[in-house]
Structure 1
Amino acid sequence: METPGLVVHGEAAPFSTALRSLLNNPQYSDVCFVVGQERQEVFAHRCLLACRCNFFQRLLGPKLGSGMPSPVVLSTVPAEAFLAVLEFLYTNSVRLHRHSTLVSFLLLLMGSDHTLPHTHSGLERNVFQHRSSFHFCSQLCLEFVVKVLDVELVCEALQVAVTFGLGPLQERCIAFIEAHSQEALRTRGFLELSAPALLSLLRSDKLRVDEAELVLAARSWARVGAAVLERPVAEVAAPVVRELRLALLAPAELSALEEQNQREPLIPVEQIVEAWKCHALRRGDAARGAPCRRRRGTLPREHHCFLDLPFK
Structure 2
Amino acid sequence: MEPPGLVVHGAVAPFSTALRSLVNNPLYSDVRFVVGQERQEVFAHRCLLACRCNFFQRLLGSEMGPGVPSPVVLSTVPAEAFLAVLEFLYTNSAKLHRHSVGLCGCPVSFPPPLLGSVHTLPHTPASVERTCTSRERRVFCSQLCLEFVVKVLDVELVCEALQVAVTFGLGSLQERCVAFIEAHSQEALRTRGFLELSAPALLPLLRSDKLCVDEAELVLAARSWARVGAAVLERPVAEVAAPVVRELRLALLAPAELSALEEQNRREPLIPVEQIVEAWKCHALRRGDAARGALCRRRRGTLPREHHRFLDPPFK
Match of 1:234, SS? Answer: helix
The 5 A counterparts of 1:168-247 are: 168-247=172-251
Tell me, yes or no, if the aligned pair for 1:112 and 1:129 is still in contact at 8 Å: no
The question of 1:250 aligning with 2:254 is answered yes
Tell me, yes or no, if the aligned pair for 1:211 and 1:249 is still in contact at 8 Å: yes
CA distance in structure 1 between the aligned counterparts of 2:58 and 2:302, rounded to whole angstroms: 54
Gaps of 5+ in 2: 104-108, 120-128
The answer to which structure has the higher helix fraction is 2
Alpha-carbon shift at residue 254 of structure 1 (Å): 1.5
CA distance in structure 1 between the aligned counterparts of 2:312 and 2:292, rounded to whole angstroms: 16
Aligned to 1:101: 100
Match of 2:246, SS? Answer: helix
Q: CA RMSD in A?
A: 3.3
CA distance in structure 1 between the aligned counterparts of 2:137 and 2:273, rounded to whole angstroms: 50
Match of 1:144, SS? Answer: helix
Alpha-carbon shift at residue 181 of structure 1 (Å): 0.6
CA distance in structure 1 between the aligned counterparts of 2:114 and 2:297, rounded to whole angstroms: 36
Tell me, yes or no, if the aligned pair for 2:138 and 2:170 is still in contact at 8 Å: no
TM-score by length of 1: 0.82
CA distance in structure 2 between the aligned counterparts of 1:21 and 1:134, rounded to whole angstroms: 28
Of 251-260 and 50-59, more deviation after overlay is shown by: 251-260
Equivalent position to 1:155, from 154, 159, 184 = 159
Tell me, yes or no, if the aligned pair for 1:275 and 1:290 is still in contact at 8 Å: no
Tell me, yes or no, if the aligned pair for 1:36 and 1:76 is still in contact at 8 Å: yes
Aligned to 2:284: 280
Tell me, yes or no, if the aligned pair for 2:162 and 2:201 is still in contact at 8 Å: yes
TM-score by length of 2: 0.81
Cα distance change of structure 1 residues 237 and 41 upon mapping to structure 2, 3 Å threshold: farther
The 5 A counterparts of 1:26-105 are: 26-62=26-62, 70-97=70-97, 99-103=98-102
Match of 2:278, SS? Answer: helix
Alpha-carbon shift at residue 87 of structure 1 (Å): 0.7
Q: Give the fraction of aligned pairs with identical amino acids, expressed as a percent.
A: 85
Equivalent position to 1:166, from 164, 170, 175 = 170
Alpha-carbon shift at residue 29 of structure 1 (Å): 3.0
The letter for the 2-side match of 1:45 is H
Aligned to 1:263: 267
Equivalent position to 1:145, from 115, 132, 149 = 149
For 1:9-53, what per-residue CA distance to the aligned partner results, in whole angstroms no more than 9, with x for missing partners?
554323322322222234443323233455443322222211221
Cα distance change of structure 1 residues 128 and 220 upon mapping to structure 2, 3 Å threshold: farther
Alpha-carbon shift at residue 2 of structure 1 (Å): 6.3
Match of 1:291, SS? Answer: helix
